[in-house]
Amino acid sequence: MSEYDLSAYLSVFLDEADEQIQILDKEILKLEKDPFNVKIVQSIFRAAHTLKGSSASMGYEKLKQFTHHLENVFEHIRQQDLTVTTELVNVLFESVDLIKQMKTAIVDNQLDAIDTTRGISALEKFMPNATNKKAANLKKPFELEQYQKDILLEGLKNDYYSYEINVRLSDDAAMKNVRAFMVYSALSEKGEIIVTNPTVETMEQDETFDGRMQFDILSKTEKDVLEQAIKNISDVSFTSIDLLTEDFLAAPKKLEEAAPNDDAALHTQLKVTPTIRVDVEKLDHLMGLVGELVINQTRLVDVRGRFSEKDIRHEREFDVLNEVTNQLSLVISELQDGMTQTRMLPIEQLFNRFPRLIRDTSMKANKEIDFEMIGEETELDRILIEEISDPLIHLLRNAIDHGIEDQETREKSGKPAKGKVTLCAAHEEKQVVIRIQDDGGGIDPEKVKRASIQKGLITEAEAKKMTDREAMFLIFKSGISTAKQITDISGRGVGMDIVKSHIEKINGVIDIDSIVGKGTTFTIKLPLTLTLSIISALLIKLSNRTFAIPLINVLEIIRIHKNDIQKVKDQEVGVVRGRVLPLIRMKEHLGIEDSKAPNPKNREFVVVVGFADKRVGIIVDKTLGNQEIVTKSLGSYIGTPPFISGATIMGDANVALILDVALVVTKFGSEMIDLPHLIQQSEAKQMDQLVTFKVGQEEYGLDIERTKDIVPVSSITRIVDAPPEILGIINLRGNTLPVVDLRKRLKLEVTPYTKKSRIIVVEYEQRDIGLLVDEVKQVVKVDRFDETAEVQKEANGSQLVKAIQQVDDRTVLILDCDEIVSTIEFHNFY
């Protein structure tokens, strides 16, 4: 094979080698638990054999030789003259590691530099003896027909032993045919020969007969007696006698067929679907075309939207447009999914490596681990699978080494002695979410703080101000380790730093949840694919301009009251879920002028974005909703402007810019902002939400907990002989409910309702009651109604108002819902 040919096959070889190495890892792990399972041995043997075969055909002599030795060991395990011990398993794993090394070396063209002698001698130690080793290799495949198996099985049932006997005559033996016949007749004296290989004719007559024979016999004779009988024949150099078990014989034919030389059978355990290899460039091109389709589809939807707003004279044409647009959207989204799928692989590929990793790590750490994997079938981009590998290995090792406590500690705290580590992957909202969960000791924020102070990463004062959550995130800083001692697995404090940078690289987000004494969960969110130019994005407005924020980075959208925004070191911050969040006025950083007067509203829209371990809140004027967008580069002429990662084309054919979340977050999120008094303040404040509305001149409020719905006034059916406060009944989604005129109830002048009038539906004694108000103003968050306001109740002279609240310089009377409705007689209305 020429050099060129080889390189063309290299990737095929590497893929195959990967597959076989994975099988080896997986099956050896199984073998350790179930050393006598013939099926496992078979599949290990096959994997080793394939590796040997393919490396030989690629001309990798070193790899071939080594796998050859490995194969021999497996052969002996198969022959059951080698017992599977932990020691052996360790050596086997080391051998697999060496194969991995060699594989890497092949890529780097460094195969010659690898020393296999130690590996080989480690393996050879387990060989029963030298001659056996040599002979085992000489054995030929031996296939049993079903009827022969049936005979052997039948024999087993009738208390016969079923043996497989390998005999080899010395190479220099004269008259091999005659010797063979002697062996044959010796065996036939002891039992029933069911099958021979080669055929008896070959043995007795063929000049080229090489002296290797295999017999399957049924006999009542003991094994050593048989062996002795064969050895008595001169010039026999090697004998092996194996007892055939029922399991082996009863195994499905498929496995039986999978004799070592049968390459086709090597994939029996793998799901085989016909595949073709496609150039990635071709896929990219197709993906680009799908992108064009998506753009045009959004434009079509946009046009349809504008049509539907108009008074349509061509209703039927519009219906067609509507139908076609919907159909097209469906097809395009399916096409897009399909294209994405072509680059996706199940994460199983990666996960399969972990049981082995867990075994090794837990052995080294001397801990018993119950490891569970969930969602191996979850698919993601091939490139992402490679990129996420290192972070996951780190996190898993950490979980075992630092997370899970030693047995003594666990027992003391009433946990099962075996630590539990769960690795879980799933698709959530066009993202891949991977969780690593352990039931260990958790991350102690105090320890992290202390370590960080020691390393000079934060000051004592800073540490004091930090929340626990913030402290936990310090572990992502370089050099932080809370491990009491550095083991050779982990604890040097470089790991989490690397985890973070890897996740940043693939635009992921990482989060920690940890409870001291209970355990830790790391959550990693990843985009489904990296190379894909079609992404989901949140569209927002800054002044009158539209920007897109990749949805993968959007954690939540919240509203923060202006009064809750504080300034720390010239940086505006707000407190969100116990974390101080830097708030970024993107407009200022982008130099966008306000089109209107400054926001008259009291609360700001904040889009909380995350990138790896950092979070910031971007203050926006408006959110427009989610949309699939096709990302486009701004081109080399424009270069890379700050905070802008690219552009996309909107439905109205205009260009919108995509915010570079990574940059925004790393720039503004890195400043450590910690104001515990701020947090405490806002956490201490028990916030209530109010619905405020107008009745007459005054503004009133109701606790939002009590309101179920706010609906415009439809037709109110008047009821005869009803209490004066009750205006009538309405039908709300199939339920009839009475409507109380609040004007009447508050003893105000009754006026007819207007366009602004609303019915607020409240619940009272498990019944719905509507309250007619003049106008609903807003929903506001207020501090829990304070006692001082309560005092004024009497001064107010009314039982209906339970508190008075200041909302943005306005006085809002908070009504006591129960007071209002409890005095009215409702029973006629249900």
Partner 1 sequence: MFLTKDKIQLFESRVFLEHLNQLGMQSVVFSIDHQMYSVLIEQIVEIVRVPIITSVPGIDPIIEGVINLRGNIIPVVNLHRRFQLPIPEKHKKNRIVIVDVNGENIGLIVEEVKMVTTFDEEDIEPPHHQAIDEDVFTSFAKYEGQVIGVLNLHKVLYHA
Residue 475 or 619 with smaller CB distance to partner 1: 619
- DSSP percent split of the chain into helix, strand, coil, nearest 5: 45, 25, 30
State the minimum distance, in angstroms, from the CB of residue 542 to partner 1.
10
Start-end of H helices in 34-109: 38-58, 61-78, 86-107
Distance of CA 531 to the CA centre of its chain: 18
Residue 224 or 281 with smaller CB distance to partner 1: 281
**Does 134 engage in binding with partner 1 (CB under 8 A)?**
no
Distance in angstroms (rounded) separating the CA atoms of residues 551 and 294: 17
Kind of pairing between the strands at 369-374 and 644-649: unpaired
Residue 101 or 543 with smaller CB distance to partner 1: 543
Nearest Cα to 404, choosing from 392, 390, 388, 421?
A: 421
Residue 4 or 637 with smaller CB distance to partner 1: 637
**Does 585 engage in binding with partner 1 (CB under 8 A)?**
no
Distance in angstroms (rounded) separating the CA atoms of residues 502 and 496: 10
Q: Which stretch binds partner 1 (CB under 8 A): 216-224, 386-394, 635-643, 747-755?
A: 635-643
Report whether the peptide linkage leading into residue 198 is cis, meaning its omega lies within 30 degrees of zero. yes
Q: Which stretch binds partner 1 (CB under 8 A): 236-244, 636-644, 772-780, 819-827?
A: 636-644
Residue 111 or 290 with smaller CB distance to partner 1: 290
How many residues of this chain interact with partner 1, rule: CB under 8 A?
A: 26
State the minimum distance, in angstroms, from the CB of residue 648 to partner 1.
9
Residue for token digits 């041995």? 41
Residue 158 or 636 with smaller CB distance to partner 1: 636
Nearest Cα to 691, choosing from 679, 699, 703?
A: 703
Among residues 275, 636, 697, 715, the one that binds partner 1 under rule CB under 8 A: 636
Q: Which stretch binds partner 1 (CB under 8 A): 36-44, 117-125, 196-204, 628-636?
A: 628-636
Secondary element (H or E) of residue 306: helix 280-309
Distance in angstroms (rounded) separating the CA atoms of residues 287 and 294: 10
Distance of CA 783 to the CA centre of its chain: 40
**Does 633 engage in binding with partner 1 (CB under 8 A)?**
yes
Residue 625 or 635 with smaller CB distance to partner 1: 635
Q: Which stretch binds partner 1 (CB under 8 A): 125-133, 191-199, 616-624, 646-654?
A: 646-654
Nearest Cα to 260, choosing from 113, 49, 18?
A: 49
State the minimum distance, in angstroms, from the CB of residue 34 to partner 1.
59
Among residues 320, 638, 750, 791, the one that binds partner 1 under rule CB under 8 A: 638
Q: List phi, psi (to 5°) of 300.
A: -60, -45
Among residues 414, 456, 639, 797, the one that binds partner 1 under rule CB under 8 A: 639
Q: What is the separation, in whole angstroms, between the first and last Cα of the chain?
A: 91
Among residues 607, 616, 656, 769, the one that binds partner 1 under rule CB under 8 A: 656
Residue 86 or 654 with smaller CB distance to partner 1: 654
Distance in angstroms (rounded) separating the CA atoms of residues 179 and 234: 8
**Binders of partner 1 in range 517-546 (CB under 8 A):** 545
Start-end of H helices in 435-564: 445-454, 460-465, 468-473, 495-505
Residue 632 or 694 with smaller CB distance to partner 1: 632
Residue for token digits 């309101």? 707
**Does 635 engage in binding with partner 1 (CB under 8 A)?**
yes
State the minimum distance, in angstroms, from the CB of residue 632 to partner 1.
5
**Does 416 engage in binding with partner 1 (CB under 8 A)?**
no
For residues 587 and 605, is the Cβ–Cβ distance under 8 A? no
For residues 651 and 622, is the Cβ–Cβ distance under 8 A? no
Q: Which stretch binds partner 1 (CB under 8 A): 16-24, 265-273, 488-496, 587-595?
A: 587-595
State the minimum distance, in angstroms, from the CB of residue 334 to partner 1.
21
Q: What is the DSSP string of 593-608?
A: PPSSSS--SSEEEEEE
User: Of the listed 197, 398, 507, 553, which one is catalytic?
Assistant: 398
Distance in angstroms (rounded) separating the CA atoms of residues 111 and 269: 30
State the minimum distance, in angstroms, from the CB of residue 624 to partner 1.
16
Written as six digits, the tokens of 275 are 């595949």
For residues 238 and 132, is the Cβ–Cβ distance under 8 A? yes
Distance of CA 619 to the CA centre of its chain: 30
Neighbours of 395 (CB within 10 A): 24
State the minimum distance, in angstroms, from the CB of residue 603 to partner 1.
26
State the minimum distance, in angstroms, from the CB of residue 647 to partner 1.
5
Written as six digits, the tokens of 519 are 């355990």
User: Of the listed 27, 71, 405, 504, which one is catalytic?
Assistant: 71
State the minimum distance, in angstroms, from the CB of residue 594 to partner 1.
14
Distance in angstroms (rounded) separating the CA atoms of residues 373 and 392: 13
Residue 324 or 653 with smaller CB distance to partner 1: 653
CA atoms within 13 A on the CB side of 373: 18
Among residues 647, 662, 762, 814, the one that binds partner 1 under rule CB under 8 A: 647
Question: What is the number of residues in the chain?
Answer: 830
State the minimum distance, in angstroms, from the CB of residue 642 to partner 1.
5
Residue 161 or 547 with smaller CB distance to partner 1: 547
For residues 658 and 548, is the Cβ–Cβ distance under 8 A? yes
**Does 593 engage in binding with partner 1 (CB under 8 A)?**
no
Q: Which stretch binds partner 1 (CB under 8 A): 84-92, 360-368, 391-399, 644-652?
A: 644-652
**Does 332 engage in binding with partner 1 (CB under 8 A)?**
no
State the minimum distance, in angstroms, from the CB of residue 383 to partner 1.
25
Q: What is the DSSP string of 440-458?
A: S----HHHHHHHHHHTTSS
Q: What are the residues whose beta carbons fall under 8 Å from the beta carbon of 136, sequence distance 6 or more? A: 72, 75, 76, 79, 240
Residue 291 or 519 with smaller CB distance to partner 1: 291
Residue 294 or 538 with smaller CB distance to partner 1: 294
State the minimum distance, in angstroms, from the CB of residue 637 to partner 1.
5
User: Of the listed 49, 69, 76, 502, which one is catalytic?
Assistant: 49
Neighbours of 755 (CB within 10 A): 7
Written as six digits, the tokens of 59 are 């001309």
Among residues 252, 274, 414, 591, the one that binds partner 1 under rule CB under 8 A: 591
Nearest Cα to 469, choosing from 354, 360, 578, 365?
A: 578
- Per-residue binding string, partner 1, 233-272, x by CB under 8 A, is ----------------------------------------
Among residues 657, 662, 760, 800, the one that binds partner 1 under rule CB under 8 A: 657
Q: Which stretch binds partner 1 (CB under 8 A): 423-431, 550-558, 629-637, 733-741?
A: 629-637
Among residues 455, 632, 767, 793, the one that binds partner 1 under rule CB under 8 A: 632
Is residue 398 part of the annotated active site? The answer reads: yes
Among residues 476, 643, 700, 785, the one that binds partner 1 under rule CB under 8 A: 643
Q: Which stretch binds partner 1 (CB under 8 A): 210-218, 366-374, 419-427, 637-645?
A: 637-645
State the minimum distance, in angstroms, from the CB of residue 660 to partner 1.
11
Neighbours of 222 (CB within 10 A): 11
**Does 793 engage in binding with partner 1 (CB under 8 A)?**
no
Among residues 295, 503, 506, 665, the one that binds partner 1 under rule CB under 8 A: 295
Nearest Cα to 547, choosing from 462, 679, 672, 645?
A: 645
Q: In what order do the strands lie in the sheet with 519-527?
A: 369-374, 419-428, 431-438, 519-527, 509-515
Distance of CA 800 to the CA centre of its chain: 54
> Residues with catalytic annotation?
49, 71, 398
Under the rule (CB under 8 A), what is the footprint of partner 1?
A: 292, 295-296, 545, 590-592, 632-639, 641-644, 647, 649, 653-657
